[in-house]
Structure 1
């Protein structure tokens, strides 16, 4: 067991032993390091003023190790999660001779800063984009900046700077893009020791293997399991909760793997949205689009598929799509595992079929059957970075006569748990896939859910939206003109 946190701050190796388990990266930077460029705006991962870039080791397609650079929110990320990583802040970008980085120069030349409070966060989001992608298009720029809020400059000059930053430097020669050298340094820090830092009864435990995680959870069934901390981080920053034992899954390589098993995709519970999205989108384009609208890029780089499920929120975005696709969940307790259909995991509001010493190990997402149609829809007040009022997902199979051979309909935001619409499904099975049949199912849908009213939507609105989404699904799967449809203001093509 190792009692020191080790990471690189730029090119400086830091080794820290006395670490509060829930000390955030932001507070450490500002209060301990006095690196004041990283700002606190919202303290909940929404505004992007605290954006930093983290480089971490990942497995490449050949099974080797490479470095992945990601923009993340420092305000909700715990410092100890940086073990084995490299942390870059806005202060690192200025060259040894004081010269501005190409990203900074582009913002200056295109007047991309006014009051300046949000600017360091924009710089770091663009810096991650600069390192990772060569001349991204405007849609990609918009995605990368969706998690950075600006109240005075306006986004047009910032987007112009993003287009111009590659003209002002060579990203392949950037001093922070020597990934082989960085990978070598980070590999030297990697080990299979359990990291244990903190003091007294308050500890941060970070196992390196699934077996270690299972053993630790047997000994600490009351521990708070943390993957991306996009939810738990708010418990600390907003609700001032004091967590005694934090059990971090981010060092467990097995939990981050996304593997094709032939007839299914096995998604490790620790795989982030960003890591899992490409493989999911290749099978289910609408699901990929749904993931793109979860939080912002900083959140998707931290939040995990397994965490979204284990959280048990009735408005989590991934469970309805996974349930509609027929996904199963693998749970582990010690050396024993069990698998159950995902919809059976959610029992009631705040209650799941999981023992205190059991954890979500993987999600098994079956590949779509030939001819199956799948759609997922997110209804929210904003297109980007908003919580769903209603999230609906549908999978349909027709027989040779055009009758419904199989259908799965799942909704989030309509009940205390993500749930299938059993009555609506029963009304459609064996019936022609026609408007009349769908209207009958829309009537049956009223008995499937008793939605609540809250500040996001009224019960009546939710019920009407859910029924209309079923009708929309019918229109999109019967009218060839809608096989390429608008998603908000963007076009998504379906195969």
Structure 2
């Protein structure tokens, strides 16, 4: 049985099939139809719910897209939907603020917006709800008719009324294997055993990409192995020269680390998906997916990241450059899994610059991404150059010809133009809906030129930021 709490009350239902989402469970089985389906791909936010996990200081709630969250991962969690906010005739402060500020018209997207703001309202880490906090909370919620001004007004006003959370009922039973092909190992040893028994099984952590095969591709998963409950995979292990980031660590947990050590990486992460996606998706999942338009692989390639692979035959470690084999193919063999990602600490004098081009500032897929890492000496020469691009080839890869031209050089006009021209030797982009081959090559070259301008003419940075602000 699937056991969890729904709006504060313990709830049990028969184990759903591996491809069943939280949204399908709510609407089709439980007849809780407040959460809406708009896109079935985690883009519009109409289905947003709050999923809480018990911690020592209480239950912490995070927003999630119910349309791509596996129902099986509710086991042991506390689920809150829009139906569970009001207390009798008294509306929750978020709901009341939406009413007071006329922040709803057709109402289709409103339940998801309310749930995103519910999570913001009850996030004790955010002491002041400013515009940045509001925009971050709502970046995964689309509204086609109301307009965002009254919604943002409601968000600013909602904390005027205090609303202590009532503790949910006793947390339900621990996760378990279901008879329908869902396996939930409790530790690494059990995971190795499950993979040895089911080498063809699909691995799932956050499921923000895999579940699209079910919701959009209508694929029926026969066997799924859930990594989300394995404590060893949820750790960030600090070492003197870097960090091992477990395969179950979600992006939201990485934000403070990257803010401190790699600000450009942190800024990219803020544009990766939405708050709902970052609450669920994992760094290791983005690598194992091996998409050529994934946001994090080019950055990690530029940082000389490594991966730790595990399986029945033991562990092996390899450079990330050797991990990507071809389009959506990696070096993982049958029965193996990506256990952790090595992120090195920045060395003295080292810089990382990341630029992403996409149609929307946030929650959008990359058209072109450029990641450049280097060490700068006193004379302005570049050393230890690593450059990688996304959206430019069938697999994530570095640009060795371009790197060689930049190594030991200043970004003077002649060197810079030679490096820009070399991008066409390192990459052969395709034409697709996000951009033509020529656009991608020109865009990547212009991103490199942009950085040269910022590096050697800092006074131009203000102007570039003004341009960015107008463009967004």
TM over 0.5: yes
Contact 1:435 1:474 in 2 (8 A): no
TM-score normalised over the length of structure 2? 0.95
Gaps of 5+ in 2: none
Partner of 1:100: 91
* Aligned 8 A contact 1:19 1:198 in 2: no
Q: TM (normalized to structure 1)?
A: 0.90
- Separation in 2 of the partners of 1:198 and 1:24? 17
| 3-state SS in 1 of match to 2:214 | helix
* 8-17 vs 481-490, which moves further: 481-490
Query: What is residue 61 of structure 1 aligned with on the other side?
Result: none
How far off its partner does 1:490 sit? 9.3
Cross-structure match for 1:151 = 144
In 1, the alpha carbon distance for the partners of 2:162 and 2:127 equals 10
Q: Using a 3 Å threshold, how does the CA distance of structure 1 residues 404 and 135 change in structure 2: closer, same or farther?
A: closer
Please, which runs of 5 or more residues in structure 1 have no aligned partner?
Answer: 59-63
Partner SS for 1:331: strand
Picking from 110, 114, 130, the partner of 2:105 is: 114
3-state SS in 1 of match to 2:369: strand
The count of aligned residue pairs is 467
Check if 1:163 corresponds to 2:150: no
Partner of 1:123: 114
Q: How does 1:39-118 map to 2 (within 5 A)?
A: 39-57=36-54, 67-95=59-87, 97-118=88-109
The root-mean-square deviation of aligned C-alpha atoms, in Å, is: 1.9
Give the drift of 1:344.
Answer: 1.2
SS in 1 for 2:76: coil
Q: Residue 489 in 1 paired to residue 469 in 2?
A: yes
Give the distance between the partners of 2:54 and 2:397, measured in 1 at CA.
37
For 1:475, which of 426, 429, 453 is the aligned residue?
453
Distance 2:346 2:461 in 1: 17
CA distance in structure 2 between the partners assigned to 1:163 and 1:398 by the alignment: 44
Q: How does 1:3-402 map to 2 (within 5 A)?
A: 4-57=1-54, 67-95=59-87, 97-132=88-123, 133-167=126-160, 169-171=161-163, 174-176=164-166, 178=167, 185-186=170-171, 189-190=173-174, 195-199=176-180, 203-334=181-312, 336-402=314-380
Q: Distance in 2 between matches of 1:5 and 1:230?
A: 21
Q: Match of 1:165, SS?
A: helix
Structure 1 residue 66: deviation in Å?
A: 5.1
Aligned residue for 1:442? 420
Contact 2:237 2:243 (C-alpha < 8 Å) held by counterparts: yes
CA distance in 2, matches of 1:131, 1:219: 43
Contact 1:56 1:85 in 2 (8 A): yes
Q: Which whole-Å CA distance do the structure 1 matches of 2:31 and 2:424 have between them?
A: 57
2:83 match: secondary structure: helix
